[in-house]
């Protein structure tokens, strides 16, 4: 049923591509051994809650007779589930697991739970056979089994999962998910520990925020799967917008790209395409308004007041728009990471406070805040009453009258966004908030001011100006010195700041003795003036769900297939509470090394739904990393504040082809 490879070396049908296996998996005899050179610190809470998993060490594979020989013969019954948002390559994890399991022993059986963890709780599953696997090889999304965000967070749910697994006689369960799902995997591994059911996690998420190092900085999991494919899909769209913008020369394209918290996707997309501006949340969080801070010396300081504000951010964007307009470019591309608001000090404070208010309400009333107050007005009313009551009673509460006043100053749609229901894991749902609309609302308002005061204006190309003036029989140089503020030899001429209307234009011409008091401005000069008045037009785009459904890149196809294979060998090695990984992904495929990362040491305490929970720590963009530094060093050029075309970049090519080569994500190559 599989298509034949075309002579050209490309594949007619993606399903017929067979990803290569890591070298060690090609051997007849495979050994697993603990790698004691890899070290972790374990959080005391992880030691308390996951006692049996804390002794796990990093596991590597070899074919050099080191460690324990892996028995591939005993038949296995393995369950597999997708958890959380889809990510390209998930089907290949199952394909790798399936192929290696069936190759080791045709009696091995793989069962796929449907619609995410709920499928385990409810015992809703299918047996995965070769027809099913073949249909989805190298295909995007999670459509084979579907997915869901149910959290297995109560003893009752764990009991139900155990019951299902026992009834199905499973000896292992593979959970393909992000940080929260791998946290779930660890807790399940602990509770199944004495039941003989192993649990293995697989690092998935387009957000790229599962990047794991040991305490000595050794990279164990360079990136979660799906990141590269989603980033590439966004990059291709953004590249197309760059071309359209440079052709149509009238729109600013505001591109919000997914990444619930971390800005890895924005960073990769930026490096791939060189947009005019890419915001990186982590960098904004680091920002300190030094002048404000200095002015406040000797005063009582509220440190939260010196961080990045939405107002300051909007001014920075306006500055770019104004400078590009001066070069005749009233268009451009701005990339905004989805999780940006999390890094803006003033907004983060609201998010944390509202999380606490909502979870307090749920606890005290044993009811759901959102069901009790379904409408925005009702929610706001509750907050107002709470703040007033606290003020009257002289109590210190998390939501004060000051918070209430500040909150009421923001637009309703944004208030609604901030008050929206958190997801099952207690995460703020950034994808549901129109971050771009909030920021661009401020930008549009400020641009109007800049336009009115003569700062925001379009540069006029000198040659075009000369031609128009010649046609009108006017002296270009004399008029230029009356109308423009910069040197006549510049490629783009900029209208003087005080000329903001036809009236002020006429006055400038009279003052320069170019026309008399009772003459009108020459028509050609008026037309040129009109050309300098910019219209700010923007188009907003959200790149996210499309990238999650994209077909995996060659890199992700190969990576995920080997994550599936690794999961199988971790199961055969008797592991539980481990996450499959492949090291050295930035290097040539022949150097890829599969392994198993113990999950318990990756945990830390984090605020969720108003209380501290033990979860896997997300990895954020490291501002000292070479990838970020590369972006920083190049971004002045990307602004395009020069005459002529912007220097954009075509995203890396990607194709599944017979030589099985691939190009890794840029952030991996740069950071290696
Ligand atoms: P995972 O962490 O589950 O992989 O999901 C990440 C993500 O794609 C984020 O980028 C985005 O904020 C979120 O999913 C959207 O979630 P939902 O599918 O619930 O709208």
pLDDT at 408: 86
Ligand 1 touching residue 431 (CB < 6 A):
yes
Read off the pLDDT band of 1 (50, 70, 90): very low
Residue nearest to atom 17 of ligand 1 (CA): 85
Ligand 1 center–CA 90 separation, angstroms: 15
Residue nearest to atom 20 of ligand 1 (CA): 431
pLDDT at 27: 93
pLDDT at 9: 63
Read off the pLDDT band of 410 (50, 70, 90): confident
Quick: pLDDT tens for 490-513.
999 999 999 999 999 999 999 999
Between CA 328 and CA 495 the distance in angstroms is 12
Q: Are 266 and 280 in contact (CB under 8 A)?
A: yes
Residue nearest to atom 8 of ligand 1 (CA): 85
Residue nearest to atom 14 of ligand 1 (CA): 85
Ligand 1 center–CA 85 separation, angstroms: 5
Residue nearest to atom 11 of ligand 1 (CA): 260
Residue nearest to atom 7 of ligand 1 (CA): 85
Q: Which atom of ligand 1 is nearest to the CA of 204?
A: 4
Residue nearest to atom 6 of ligand 1 (CA): 85
Ligand 1 center–CA 260 separation, angstroms: 6
| β-pair partners for 19 | none
pLDDT at residue 316 tops 70: yes
Calculate the CA 647 to chain-centre distance: 24
Q: Which atom of ligand 1 is nearest to the CA of 84?
A: 3
Ligand 1 touching residue 256 (CB < 6 A):
no
Q: Which atom of ligand 1 is nearest to the CA of 207?
A: 10
Read off the pLDDT band of 553 (50, 70, 90): very high
pLDDT at residue 584 tops 60: yes
pLDDT at 433: 82
Ligand 1 touching residue 268 (CB < 6 A):
no
Ligand 1 touching residue 427 (CB < 6 A):
no
Calculate the CA 44 to chain-centre distance: 30
Quick: pLDDT tens for 81-139.
999 999 999 999 999 999 999 999 999 999 999 999 999 999 999 999 999 999 999 99
Residue 416's region, left for phi above 0, alpha for psi from -120 to 50, else beta, is: alpha
Ligand 1 center–CA 346 separation, angstroms: 24
Structure tokens at 617: 């720590």
Percent of the chain with pLDDT over 90: 81
Average pLDDT, the chain: 93
Ligand 1 center–CA 205 separation, angstroms: 8
Between CA 492 and CA 490 the distance in angstroms is 5
Ligand 1 touching residue 430 (CB < 6 A):
yes
Structure tokens at 86: 């889809």
Quick: pLDDT tens for 317-346.
999 999 999 999 999 999 999 999 889 988
Structure tokens at 629: 């530094």
Ligand 1 touching residue 88 (CB < 6 A):
no
pTM over 0.85: yes
Q: Examine the residue annotation and report whether 551 is marked as an active-site residue of this protein.
A: no
pLDDT at residue 392 tops 60: yes
pLDDT at 303: 52
Between CA 115 and CA 50 the distance in angstroms is 27
Ligand 1 touching residue 148 (CB < 6 A):
no
Ligand 1 center–CA 640 separation, angstroms: 33
Residue nearest to atom 10 of ligand 1 (CA): 259
Between CA 32 and CA 11 the distance in angstroms is 35
Ligand 1 touching residue 84 (CB < 6 A):
yes
pLDDT at 3: 45
pLDDT at 296: 66
Ligand 1 touching residue 266 (CB < 6 A):
no
Read off the pLDDT band of 302 (50, 70, 90): low
H or E segment at 413? helix 412-418
Ligand 1 touching residue 424 (CB < 6 A):
no
Average pLDDT on 172-180 reads 97
To test the ligand 1 pocket, which listed residue (268, 431, 434) has its Cβ within 8 A of the most ligand atoms?
431
Ligand 1 center–CA 566 separation, angstroms: 25
Ligand 1 center–CA 543 separation, angstroms: 12
Structure tokens at 545: 């769900």
Residue nearest to atom 18 of ligand 1 (CA): 85
**HEC sequence for 268-294:** HHHHHHCCCEECCHHHHHCCCCHHHHH
Ligand 1 touching residue 232 (CB < 6 A):
no
Phi, psi of 277 (to 5 degrees): -145, 135
Catalytic residue among 207, 209, 403, 551: 207
pLDDT at 598: 98
Quick: pLDDT tens for 53-90.
999 999 999 999 999 999 988 899 999 999 999 999 99
Average pLDDT on 279-294 reads 86
Ligand 1 touching residue 338 (CB < 6 A):
yes
Q: Are 334 and 252 in contact (CB under 8 A)?
A: yes
pLDDT at 70: 96
pLDDT at 5: 47
Quick: pLDDT tens for 520-550.
999 999 999 999 999 999 999 999 999 999 9
Structure tokens at 483: 């109308």
pLDDT at residue 274 tops 80: yes
Q: Which atom of ligand 1 is nearest to the CA of 423?
A: 19
What spatial distance separates the first Cα and last Cα of the chain, rounded to whole Å? 40
To test the ligand 1 pocket, which listed residue (179, 209, 256, 260) has its Cβ within 8 A of the most ligand atoms?
260
Q: Is 644 or 410 the better-scoring residue by pLDDT?
A: 644
Between CA 115 and CA 119 the distance in angstroms is 6
Ligand 1 center–CA 424 separation, angstroms: 12
Phi, psi of 257 (to 5 degrees): -115, 145
Q: Which atom of ligand 1 is nearest to the CA of 259?
A: 10
Residue nearest to atom 5 of ligand 1 (CA): 85
Ligand 1 center–CA 418 separation, angstroms: 17
Quick: pLDDT tens for 599-634.
999 999 997 776 789 999 999 999 999 999 999 999
Q: Which atom of ligand 1 is nearest to the CA of 545?
A: 8
Ligand 1 touching residue 207 (CB < 6 A):
yes
Average pLDDT on 425-429 reads 77
Read off the pLDDT band of 300 (50, 70, 90): low
Average pLDDT on 11-15 reads 81
């Amino acid at each position: 049923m599989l298509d034949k490879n075309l002579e050209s070396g490309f594949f007619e049908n993606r399903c017929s591509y067979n990803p290569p296996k890591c070298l060690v998996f090609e051997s007849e005899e495979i050994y697993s051994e603990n790698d004691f050179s890899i070290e972790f610190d374990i959080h005391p809470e992880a030691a308390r809650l996951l006692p049996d998993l804390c002794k796990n060490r990093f596991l590597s594979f070899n074919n050099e007779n080191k460690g324990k020989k892996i028995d591939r013969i005993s038949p296995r019954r393995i369950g597999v589930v997708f958890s959380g948002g889809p990510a390209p390559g998930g089907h290949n994890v199952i394909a790798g697991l399936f192929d290696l399991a069936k190759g080791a022993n045709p009696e091995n059986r793989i069962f796929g739970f449907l619609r995410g963890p709920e499928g385990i709780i409810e015992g809703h599953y299918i047996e995965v056979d070769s027809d099913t696997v073949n249909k989805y090889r190298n295909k995007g999304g999670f459509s084979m089994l579907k997915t869901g965000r149910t959290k297995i967070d109560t003893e009752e749910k764990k009991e139900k999962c155990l019951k299902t697994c026992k009834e199905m006689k499973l000896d292992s369960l593979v959970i393909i998910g992000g940080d929260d799902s791998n946290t779930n995997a660890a807790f399940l591994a602990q509770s199944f520990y004495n039941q003989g059911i192993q649990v293995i996690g697989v690092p998935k998420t387009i957000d790229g925020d599962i990047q794991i190092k040991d305490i000595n900085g050794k990279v164990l999991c360079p990136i979660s799967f799906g990141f590269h494919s989603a980033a590439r899909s966004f990059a291709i769209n953004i590249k197309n917008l760059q071309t359209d913008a440079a052709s149509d020369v009238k729109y600013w394209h505001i591109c919000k790209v997914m990444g619930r918290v971390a800005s890895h996707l924005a960073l990769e997309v930026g490096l791939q395409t060189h947009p005019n501006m890419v915001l990186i949340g982590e960098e904004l969080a680091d920002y300190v308004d030094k002048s404000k801070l200095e002015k406040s010396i000797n005063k009582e300081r509220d440190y939260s007041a010196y961080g990045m504000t939405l107002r300051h951010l909007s001014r920075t964007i306006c500055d770019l728009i104004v400078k590009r307009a001066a070069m005749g470019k009233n268009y451009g591309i701005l990339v905004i990471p989805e999780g940006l608001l999390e890094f803006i000090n003033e907004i983060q404070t609201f998010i944390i406070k509202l999380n606490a208010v909502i979870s307090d309400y749920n606890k005290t009333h044993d009811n759901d805040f959102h069901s009790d107050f379904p409408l925005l007005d009702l929610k706001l009313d509750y907050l107002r009453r709470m703040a007033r009551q606290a003020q009257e009673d002289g109590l210190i509460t998390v939501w004060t009258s000051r918070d209430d006043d500040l909150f009421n100053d923001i637009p309703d749609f944004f208030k609604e966004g901030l008050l929206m229901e958190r997801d099952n894991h207690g995460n703020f749902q950034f994808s549901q908030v129109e971050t771009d609309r909030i920021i661009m609302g401020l930008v549009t308002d400020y641009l109007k001011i800049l336009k009115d005061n003569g700062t925001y204006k379009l540069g006029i190309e000198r040659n075009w100006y000369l031609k128009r003036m010649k046609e009108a029989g006017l002296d270009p140089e004399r008029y230029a010195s009356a109308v423009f503020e910069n040197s006549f030899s510049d490629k783009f001429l900029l209208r003087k700041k005080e000329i903001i209307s036809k009236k002020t234009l006429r006055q400038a011409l009279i003052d320069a003795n170019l026309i008399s008091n009772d003459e009108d401005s020459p028509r050609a000069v008026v037309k040129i003036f009109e050309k300098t008045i910019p219209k700010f037009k923007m188009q907003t785009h959200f790149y996210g769900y499309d990238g999650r459904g994209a077909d995996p890149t060659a890199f992700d196809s190969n990576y995920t297939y080997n994550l599936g294979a690794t999961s199988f060998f971790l199961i055969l090695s008797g592991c539980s509470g481990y996450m499959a990984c492949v090291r050295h992904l930035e290097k040539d495929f022949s150097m890829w090394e599969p392994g198993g990362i113990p999950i318990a040491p990756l945990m830390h305490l984090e605020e969720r739904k108003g209380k501290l929970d033990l979860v896997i720590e997300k990895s954020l963009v490291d501002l000292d990393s070479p990838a970020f530094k590369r972006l920083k060093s190049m971004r002045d050029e990307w602004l395009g504040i020069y005459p002529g075309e912007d220097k954009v970049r075509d995203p890396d090519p990607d194709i599944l082809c017979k030589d099985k080569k691939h190009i890794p994500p840029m952030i991996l190559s740069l950071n290696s």
